[in-house]
Structure 1
Amino acid sequence: MRTFTTALLAGTIALAAGAAYAENPMVGGAAMYADKNIVENAVNSKDHSTLVAAVQAAGLVETLSGPGPFTVFAPTNAAFAALPAGTVETLLKPENKDQLTKILTCHVVGAKAMAADIKKMVDDDEGEHPVKTVGGCTWTAQYEGNKVMLTDENGNVANVTIANVEQSNGVIHVIDKVLLPKM
């Protein structure tokens, strides 16, 4: 009886742990775990290899592995590929580290903001909410239905395609465009 009870308890704990992880969406074909940090999860997403390479080139791995909390609006590989030809390669060069760092930190907010939080801020501001980033950029958040959108300082709109990917040090929202500072 004791073995059965122990096995049942172990199975219940495993099921509960699996259910906790199941709440977090899959990103880039990989499970995202709420007990891992932003970098630990991002490296497993096949849709974010360009972002991970950029974070490494900018020297931001340690920062984004830190305690946070952070909200990261994470552009996909397709978002980076949509930039003009040669842009990513140029930004990844060591001599362009400052510009790359500026662009990446403009995708980071120094607080944890779930989609519901963003929508409430938009509602409180009557339809548009200014989003101040770690990199000094200010984006404009809006939403339609359940879709959150950010507009950069150049008028480019990024849609949140996967929201609320919880991390141990914040949250990731996957976006379909790279947001750029005023040029």
Structure 2
Amino acid sequence: MKTRTSKAMGAAAAIAAIAGSVPLAINAYADPEPQPKPAVEVPDPQGDCDPFKKAVPNWKALNEVPVSQALASIPDISTFNAAVSGGLNPEVNITSVLDNGPYVVFAPSNEAFAELDPGQLDALKADPAALTRLDYYHVFLGLLGPEDVHGQRPTQEGTEIKVEGKNGDIKVNDTAKLICGGIQAQNARIYIIDKVLDPANPPEPLTPTVDETSTTTTTTTTTTSETATEEVVPGAEAPAG
């Protein structure tokens, strides 16, 4: 006669046999392998860009950083970078604005600032309002390459600049010539120019041409004058008495 212990052992052995005969289903989830970022083709800037490329050998990497970092990475525009980042006057730092682009930035070279009239740069340093106005006059909204940047455009300062030409032959406000541009930053296109633009001497604003035919309707009012003729009846003469 089997005991309860032997029955329990037999049941346990049966369960073990069944478990051994049925494979366990295990769901394994592996993290997906990170996909490489697609290569971004950074076009060559236009103009006399050999000095720029020599000074900034990793210039294509500027495409991955905001414009404030890109400006700070170009040695030939260190004065302009100081003007927009608080270096000339701690009260004037517009880098956070520029980093919220997209912007086209015309950055005068260090030599361009050196050509200013004596004392003019010192006057800008001492006048935060004038320096801010100068900074914003060199910036307008957009992401335009050398083929498309031409036109007359409103700057962030409020008045217009005039950009003529394309590729390596670009002129701004009839005086400043392109040295090298447009250098790609993450949110901007940078154009190094050989003159400091003067917001006090903007180009004549464009006058919109309206092709409309103005129709003038002339209303002629005819007034009818009525002449009332009063017929006078001579009175009867009194009879002679």
TM, length-normalised to structure 2: 0.57
Query: Alignment RMSD, CA only?
Result: 2.6
Q: Distance in 1 between matches of 2:116 and 2:164?
A: 23
State, as a whole percentage, how many aligned pairs show the same letter: 24
- Are the aligned partners of 2:136 and 2:157 in contact in 1 as well (CA < 8 Å)? yes
Letter in 1 for 2:164: Q
Q: 2:93 corresponds to which residue?
A: 59
Q: Which one has a bigger Cα radius of gyration? A: 2
- Which aligned pairs between 1:137-148 and structure 2 lie closer than 5 A? 137-143=159-165, 146-148=168-170
Q: Which residue of 1 aligns with 2:74?
A: 45
Separation in structure 1 between the aligned mates of residue 80 and residue 44 of structure 2, nearest angstrom: 24
Consecutive unaligned residues of structure 2, counting only runs of 5 or more, are 1-35, 87-91, 202-241
* CA distance in structure 2 between the aligned counterparts of 1:145 and 1:61, rounded to whole angstroms: 27
Q: Residues of 2 paired with 1:133 and 1:181: CA distance?
A: 10
Contact 1:40 1:65 (8 Å CA) reproduced:
no
In structure 2, the partner of 1:5 is: none
2:120 maps to what in 1?
87
Distance 1:118 1:145 in 2: 9
Tell me the distance in 2 between the aligned counterparts of 1:145 and 1:170.
17
Q: How many residues align?
A: 153
> Higher helix share goes to which structure?
1
Whole-angstrom CA distance in 2 between matches of 1:62 and 1:145: 29
Q: Aligned pair in 2 of structure 1 residues 28, 135: CA closer, same or farther (>3 Å)?
A: farther
Consecutive unaligned residues of structure 1, counting only runs of 5 or more, are: 1-12, 120-128
Aligned to 1:78: 111
Aligned to 1:109: 140
Structure 1 stretch 22-31 or stretch 82-91: which is displaced more? 22-31
Q: What does the per-residue CA deviation read over 1:27-73, in whole Å, with 9 as the maximum and x for residues that have no partner?
A: 5712331011111011121111111111123211211122x100001
TM-score by length of 1: 0.74
**Greater RCO (CA < 8 Å, at least 6 residues apart):** 1
1:118 and 2:149 correspond: yes
Q: Which residue in the other structure is 2:156 paired with?
A: 134
Instruction: Indicate the structure with greater strand content.
Output: 1
For residue 76 of structure 2, give the secondary structure of its aligned residue in structure 1: helix
Shift of 1:97: 0.8
* 116 and 146 in structure 1: CA distance in 2 versus 1, 3 angstrom threshold: same
* Residues 138-176 of structure 1 deviation map (CA, whole Å, 9 limit, x = unaligned): 11221277401111xxxx611111112011111101111
Runs of 4 or more consecutive aligned structure 1 residues displaced over 4 Å after TM superposition: 19-25
Evaluate the alpha carbon distance shift between residue 133 and residue 29 of structure 1 in structure 2; reply closer, same or farther with a 3 A threshold: same
Secondary structure at 1:115's aligned position in 2? coil
